Amino acid sequence: MAQGRVTIVDVASRAGVSKSAVSFALNGRPGLAEETRQRILDVAREMGWSPSQRGRSLAVSRAFAVGLILARAPELIGSDPFYPSFIAGAEAVLSKSGYSLLLQVLDDPAREADAYHRLATEGRVDGVFLSDMRHGDPRIAMLTELGLPAVTLNRSNISSPFPAVCLDDNAPGITVATRHLIELGHRRIAHVTGPVEFMHAVRRRDAWGAALADAGVPEGPVVVSDFTASGGAAATRELLSLEEPPTAIVYANDLMAMAGMVVAQDLGFPVPQRLSVTGFDDTELAAYVSPALTTVRTSPFAWGQHAAQTLLQFIDAGSAPDVELDSPELVIRTSTARPLEPPLT
Amino acid sequence: MAQGRVTIVDVASRAGVSKSAVSFALNGRPGLAEETRQRILDVAREMGWSPSQRGRSLAVSRAFAVGLILARAPELIGSDPFYPSFIAGAEAVLSKSGYSLLLQVLDDPAREADAYHRLATEGRVDGVFLSDMRHGDPRIAMLTELGLPAVTLNRSNISSPFPAVCLDDNAPGITVATRHLIELGHRRIAHVTGPVEFMHAVRRRDAWGAALADAGVPEGPVVVSDFTASGGAAATRELLSLEEPPTAIVYANDLMAMAGMVVAQDLGFPVPQRLSVTGFDDTELAAYVSPALTTVRTSPFAWGQHAAQTLLQFIDAGSAPDVELDSPELVIRTSTARPLEPPLT
DNA sequence: CCGCTTTATTAAACCGGTTGAGGAGGCGGG
DNA sequence: CCCGCCTCCTCAACCGGTTTAATAAAGCGG
């Protein structure tokens, strides 16, 4: 059974009307007697018919799908809890609107341009999410050229015709984390950042620097890392081998912070007694390591929801306002404390 | 510019041939002069044309996409590194074949049936991955009924018309972890498992039990948990409050194990001196916690690759053999050691 | 009872490809 | 010289919907 799929003409003939009538009924268009509409819908339900997305897509020139392209090394994707939650949030609003999410994962960032190009020319999607914004991000020009709608997750540093949905774009999360350390009395505060090609990495770095400058605290050392546990461990080892090791480290994500804490304790820097540590993300595990990690709680789920909402609106209406999500909050746990020796003021 | 997309007829007229000719050239069908074929392809490339997936899909009654439906709570998805890696692996082979991955995330497992139904009747996908197999999994009957091809990730306990791609299906990973603990001299070995509706949870439990029975070691206590850090912490607290606490715990994933280690140390059970711990997954962080976690290394990426390969073959040919991936390997680190007091034999 | 408007419905074109049947031209064999 | 066949290519139908324009029927004022 279920050999030949049931199509609109099957429904039409069963209901004794033309296929146009079925289409009208389905899409709630005016010009059909209420009774007829009802009968058609009843027959459709009874026959278990849903309109073929293929036919529909072709007719209305829409894919009813949006794309997300991840151009990160697979192992990095796995450890970062951001995407799954973001996707869950986006999916929640997409599926409600009959849209699907097309996910593409690239190991080789060089093939990224090609991937967007194909998504666009093949007409597989009506729009895309642009994540991990970079400096002078080339994807913006490319998508403009292709005529493919997009939404950027936070802003790039170049002007863009696409709406931006921002969460912690100016890194107030890092600002408040840094301030927290300053208030505790720290004066040698280091920073472990992500790859500098990412906007969010430099924004966080800048926010950290500005918070220090505001308080008249000299800028501590910075190590550029890569968001992985091994990178965080290496960066920490580097910082703690300095002649004057920092008394606190602001990490750009939880994973590096958690790995860093272990390294610190191994090197004879108990946390938080001799080293305070802050993370970023508030992954579930952060509350269950020892000491529990003080970190910045972001809400990727909400971010996904708003990004999807904005993207759909932009696709529909041709324009959509930027969205600024609530600043993330600092979750203070036990990985931060006053420094052992008070600073010489 | 880019107003009207370039279509097959544009290419045809530009190349001075019919659209059939263009189609033939594109799909490498015989019956075209080599020179003509080349000219057509040149024109197509020059005009930047890729065939519209919409038209193609409709004509050949194929979606050129496969689906993955995740019916887990969003926060659980985020912390589990399995899916991102699995998806990356699947994507690697899918995109090579011109297929896309449709990802759907459901908060409410009750809506799962509906989701599969729509995917099938709307014709959005040509097949799906079935993950997190459950006892007497109802999805198998549903998909059979819908005529939607599928591949199951490990087997269900009911017969299935779909090929299964198995990794650690009989949980040899847990077996070897348990044996490792037995060899170290442990005699009170507990187990923290995932929700029992999942096949893999009970398979792991059974493997643990069998390994103990094989060695003539009495079965230790079992706590059913939920794969989360908080669940792992709670389970550990429960186990260590027993009158006779275990000297070792086999956890069903790393996240629970890592949270469990912290709880243990807090309760005065230093790891590995008074408690040995094994995890499952070998997440990146596992090597960077203290003590470093002894765990079972699975390869979700390879699993994704094989699953996609098998699914495509099954869609194409109507049948595909089951695949049995290599058993995962035990990575011995420092969270396991001989028990303090030798057991009274 | 006619012509005009309004309402309910349908026929047919269209979206952009694929595909089976068929036609034009060249060539070899009878 | 004609026929048949092969090669190369085109025509037109088709996939399953949407949408525009046209038609049939009904309402209505005069």
What would the mean pLDDT of B118-128 be, rounded to a whole number?
A: 95
Residue A344 has pLDDT above 70, yes or no: no
Q: Strand C positions with any atom < 7 Å from protein CB?
A: 7-12, 14-21
Give the pLDDT of residue A71.
87
Instruction: Encode pLDDT of A259-309 as tens digits.
Output: 999 999 999 999 999 999 999 999 999 999 999 999 999 999 999 999 999
Instruction: Report CA(A336)–C1'(C16) in Å, whole number.
Output: 62
What confidence tens digit (pLDDT) does each residue in A229-261 have?
999 999 999 999 999 999 999 999 999 999 999
pLDDT tens track for B53-67: 999 999 999 999 999
Model pLDDT, residue B75 = 64
How distant is the Cα of A167 from the closest Cα of chain B, in angstroms?
A: 18
Query: Would the pLDDT of B164 be above 80?
Result: yes
For position A2, what pLDDT does the model report? Answer: 45
Q: Residue A52 CA to chain centroid, in angstroms?
A: 31
| CA–CA distance, B162 with B314 (Å, rounded to integer) | 8
Q: What topology is assigned to A65-168+300-327 in CATH?
A: Rossmann fold (3.40.50)
- Spanning CA of A40 to C1' of D27, the rounded length in angstroms is 26
The verdict on a CB contact (< 8 Å) between A92 and B107 is yes
- Do residue A95 and residue B79 have CB atoms under 8 angstroms apart? no
With both helix axes pointing from N to C terminus, report the angle between B34-47 and B19-27 in degrees, rounded to the nearest 10. 100
CA distance B285 to chain A (A): 6
Q: What is the mean pLDDT of chain B?
A: 93
CA of B308 to C1' of C6 (A): 57
Compute the radius of gyration of chain A from its Cα atoms: 26
Query: Are A155 and A166 within 8 A, CB to CB?
Result: yes
Q: Is the pLDDT of residue B344 over 60?
A: no
- pLDDT greater than 80 at residue B341: no
Q: Is B103 helix (H, G, I), strand (E, B) or coil?
A: strand
- The chain B residue lying nearest A146, using CA atoms, is B2
Q: What is the CATH number of domain B172-298?
A: 3.40.50.2300
Q: Rounded to an integer, what is the distance from CA B237 to the centroid of its chain? A: 29
DSSP H stretches of helix in chain B: 8-15, 19-27, 34-47, 53-60, 74-79, 82-96, 112-121, 138-146, 172-184, 199-214, 229-240, 254-266, 300-317
Q: Pairing mode, if any, of strands B295-297 and B276-278?
A: unpaired
> What is the distance in angstroms measured between the alpha-carbon CA of B3 and the sugar C1' of C9?
34
D12 closest protein residue (CA to C1') = B20
Mean pLDDT of A211-224: 97
| Residue B110: CB less than 7 A from any atom in strand C | no
pLDDT tens readout for residues A145-189? 999 999 999 999 999 999 999 999 989 999 999 999 999 999 999
| B82: confidence class by pLDDT, cuts 50, 70, 90 | confident
A31-68 per-position pLDDT tens digit: 889 999 999 999 999 999 999 999 999 999 999 999 99
Contact list in A for residue B65 (CB cut-off 8 A) is 102
Minimum CA–C1' distance nucleotide for A54: D16
For the cut 50, the answer to whether the pLDDT of residue B1 exceeds it is: no
Assign A75 a pLDDT band (cuts: 50, 70, 90): low
- Ranges of CATH 3.40.50.2300 domains, chain B: 65-168+300-327, 172-298
Torsion sign across C-alpha atoms B192, B195, B197, B198 = negative
* Bases in strand D with any atom closer than 7 Å to a protein CB: 7-12, 14-21
The CATH architecture to which A172-297 belongs is 3-Layer(aba) Sandwich (3.40)
Residue closest to A164 by CA, chosen among A131, A194, A135, A137:
A131
How far is A91 from chain B, CA to nearest CA, in Å?
6
Given a contact cutoff of 8 angstroms between Cβ atoms, the answer to whether A201 and A194 are in contact is: yes
Residues of chain B contacting residue A65, judged by C-beta atoms under 8 Å apart: 102
Residue B326 CA to residue B299 CA, distance in Å, equals: 9
Percent of chain A with pLDDT over 70: 96
The pLDDT, as a whole number, for residue A1 is 40
Q: Are the Cβ atoms of A81 and B85 closer than 8 angstroms?
A: no
Range list for CATH 1.10.260.40 in chain B: 8-51
Q: Which DSSP string corresponds to A188-229?
A: -EEEEE--TTBHHHHHHHHHHHHHHHHTTPPP--EEE--SSH
Residues of chain A with CATH 3.40.50.2300: 65-168+300-327, 172-297
Fold of A8-51: 434 Repressor (Amino-terminal Domain) (1.10.260)
Share of residues in chain A with pLDDT > 90 (%)? 87
What are the Cα distances from residue A328, in Å, to A131, A173, A184, A288, B192? 18, 6, 20, 20, 34
What does the alpha-carbon distance between residue B269 and residue B113 come to, in Å, rounded to a whole number?
Answer: 45
Asked whether the predicted pLDDT for residue B343 surpasses 90, the reply is no
How many percent of chain B have pLDDT more than 70? Answer: 96
Please judge whether A74 and B51 are an interchain contact, meaning their C-beta atoms are less than 8 angstroms apart.
no
Q: B182: which 2 tokens? A: 């037995």
Shortest CA to C1' contact from A123: nucleotide: C16
Contact criterion met (CB < 8 Å) for A266 and B229: no
Element (H, E) at B104: strand B100-105
**pLDDT per residue as tens digits for the range B254-263:** 999 999 999 9
Length of chain B: 345
* Of A118, A146, A59, the residue nearest B50 (C-alpha): A118
Encode pLDDT of B179-212 as tens digits. Answer: 999 999 999 999 999 999 999 999 999 999 999 9
**What pTM was estimated for this model as a whole?**
0.94
pLDDT digits (tens, 9 = 90+) for B288-323: 999 999 999 999 999 999 999 999 999 999 999 999
Residue A92 has pLDDT above 70, yes or no: yes
- In this predicted structure, the answer to whether residue A121 has a pLDDT above a threshold of 80 is yes
Q: Is the pLDDT of residue B80 over 90?
A: no
